[in-house]
Amino acid sequence: MILFKQAASLRDFLHKTSGDKKTVGFVPTMGALHEGHLSLLSESLQHNTITVCSIFVNPTQFNDPADFEKYPVTLDKDIEKLENAGVDVLFLPAVKEIYPNGTTHLPQYDLGYLETILEGKYRPGHFQGVCQVMHRLLEVVSADNLYMGRKDYQQCMVVKKLLEITQISTRLHPCDTLREPDGLAMSSRNMRLNETERKQAVAISRVLDRIRHSVVAGPLEPVALAAEKALEENGFKVDYVAIAAADNLELLEEWDGERKLVTLAAAWLNGVRLIDNMLIP
């Protein structure tokens, strides 16, 4: 595995090594790698000639500075996992490599409805930060294929919108969420849970799974409200539990029993904010 810290050096390397028949797969991460990340890298390694992983904790997508400061950093372990997985390239940039002119006066992107609901509503500016860093990373890597986990379902939709806005030719591949044996979605934030909180955390996936298996055609609000109540009874402070159209995240009041849905939740367990989602059916 080759490690690059400068964008120009990485760009030159990829330009020299990627010919007409070679494809570049890209997995962007913020480190604290787990099996979910490794599954994305495995997809890339299977279908591309060169696989690039980036580790960059992006300051512009944290609307809470304290959350940014607490984000887990496990770089030595991350590098070992990437080497064992057979990843070709690690891009490990400093902030000045991603934002050479600083983090103020950055581009703004017209994301429409996505910034008014759910994560867009509860984390103002978050999706702009996601677009800012992804736009820059995609310019540097020039990947043919981009792999992201459906664990961040809304983020996948935002990046899809970014690709449309910028006309970048990279193809996005959303991949299934990996879960722990008890159902908890794998997440770097899980590292911040103590033993008691970790046992409580599984309530999110159980509540969403209950919705997935029990929802029927008709009004959806009572279903979401019941799920919120269940999480509160399990010690969570709930931002939202929602049921939306899977293709565009339109929040639905009624379901016709046929349209594909996604149920999503975000809730706090003490100082740790956890998110999850499940497709229906």
pLDDT at 276 over 90: yes
The pTM is what? 0.96
Q: Annotated binding site for (R)-pantoate: which residue ranges?
A: 61, 155
pLDDT band with cut points at 50, 70 and 90 for residue 64: confident
Residues 59 and 99: their CA atoms lie apart, in Å, by 10
Q: Annotated binding site for ATP: which residue ranges?
A: 30-37, 149-152, 178, 186-189
Pairing of strands 171-175, 145-149: parallel
pLDDT band with cut points at 50, 70 and 90 for residue 65: confident
Domains recognised in the chain with CATH numbers: 2-175 (3.40.50.620), 188-276 (3.30.1300.10)
Cβ atoms within 10 Å of 28's Cβ, excluding its own: 24
Residues assigned a catalytic role: 37
Residue 94 is encoded by which pair of tokens? Answer: 């400093």
122, 155, 236, 228: CA torsion to nearest 10:
80
* Nearest by Cα to 36 from 160, 188, 193: 188
Q: Annotated binding site for beta-alanine: which residue ranges?
A: 61
pLDDT in tens, 212-264: 999 999 999 999 999 999 999 999 999 999 999 999 999 999 999 999 999 99
pLDDT in tens, 122-152: 999 999 999 999 999 999 999 999 999 999 9
